[in-house]
């Protein structure tokens, strides 16, 4: 199976899953939002830590 067919298949599977489970759209959005914020917080904290 080539990469294009695999990606298309995964995309169609995800669309079908979200069509059957619409609440997961909100769950996935919230997870992405929290992960993006956590990365920013980690980067900010890393820059303020001073070494010995």
Residue 38 lies in a domain: no
- Number of domains observed in the structure of the chain: 1
First-to-last CA distance in the chain? 54
Residue 36 lies in a domain: no
Q: Which domain holds residue 10?
A: 1-30
Neighbour-count burial of 39, counting CB atoms closer than 10 A to its CB (0-12 exposed, 13-18 middle, 19+ buried) = exposed
pLDDT confidence of residue 2: 64
Residue 12 lies in a domain: yes
Q: Dihedral of CA 15/21/24/25: which sign?
A: positive
Q: Per-residue pLDDT tens for 4-48?
A: 666 778 888 989 999 999 999 999 999 999 988 887 777 776 655
Residue with tokens 């900010």: 44
Give the residue with greater pLDDT, 49 vs 19.
19
Residue with tokens 């959005």: 29
- Which residues, including other chains, have CB under 8 Å from residue 9's CB and lie 6 or more apart? 1
């Amino acid at each position: 199976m080539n990469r294009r067919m695999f990606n298309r298949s995964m995309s169609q599977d995800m669309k079908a899953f979200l069509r059957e489970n619409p609440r997961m759209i909100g769950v996935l959005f919230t997870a992405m939002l929290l992960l993006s914020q956590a990365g920013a917080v980690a980067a900010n904290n890393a820059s303020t830590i001073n070494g010995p």
